[in-house]
């Protein structure tokens, strides 16, 4: 976060972060997060398990980044700090740029964000 690389270990923790990153600023209901994390086999105390994962993720990326909201949680960051959203914004800029040189420069900026297959570890 903040330009600093943070290692997220644990598949469920990575899935949770990806889930938040797909919809920054939007509250995701706890039930949907539980479904995303455990699919058809949630633990008996799924809300507590989710709360524990959120707590661990907050410790890694910052307490103020993940907010509790009515019935769920949200990633409280602007979309442009998420590489995937930044990439899409740069592509939109490139598509709307009439000058070929400027368009190529915008595409190079977008490609500079590429670090491998999207969501490979989630």
Mean pLDDT (whole number) for 4-30: 89
Same domain, yes or no: 19 and 72: yes
Q: Which CATH number is 38's domain given?
A: 1.10.10.10
Q: How many domains does the chain have?
A: 2
Tokens of 62: 């910052």
Same domain, yes or no: 106 and 50: no
Which residue, 72, 76, 79, 83, is CA-closest to 119? Answer: 83
- The model's pTM is 0.73
Same domain, yes or no: 88 and 73: no
Burial of 71 (0-12, 13-18, 19+ CB in 10 A): exposed
Same domain, yes or no: 24 and 68: yes
* Beta carbons of 71 and 30 less than 8 angstroms apart: yes
Residue 61 lies in a domain: yes
pLDDT 10s digits, 43-80 = 999 999 999 999 999 999 989 999 999 899 999 988 87
Same domain, yes or no: 67 and 99: no
Same domain, yes or no: 84 and 72: no
Tokens of 70: 């009515």
Residue 34 belongs to what domain range? 11-77
* Beta carbons of 69 and 23 less than 8 angstroms apart: no
Same domain, yes or no: 60 and 15: yes
Bridge partner residues of 28 (DSSP): 73
Same domain, yes or no: 61 and 85: no
pLDDT 10s digits, 77-100 = 888 777 777 788 888 889 999 999
Same domain, yes or no: 29 and 62: yes
Mean pLDDT (whole number) for 9-33: 92
Residue 1 lies in a domain: no
């Amino acid at each position: 976060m903040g330009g600093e690389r943070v290692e997220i270990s644990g598949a469920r923790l990575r899935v949770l972060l990806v889930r938040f990153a797909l919809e920054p600023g939007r509250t995701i209901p706890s039930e949907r997060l539980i479904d995303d994390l455990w699919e058809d086999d949630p633990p008996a105390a799924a809300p507590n398990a989710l709360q524990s994962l959120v707590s661990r993720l907050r410790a890694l990326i910052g307490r103020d980044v993940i907010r509790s909201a009515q019935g769920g949680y949200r990633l409280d960051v602007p979309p442009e700090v998420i590489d995937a959203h930044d990439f899409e914004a740069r592509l939109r800029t490139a598509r709307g740029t009439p000058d070929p040189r400027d368009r190529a420069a915008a595409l190079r900026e977008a490609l500079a964000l590429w670090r491998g297959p999207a969501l490979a570890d989630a």
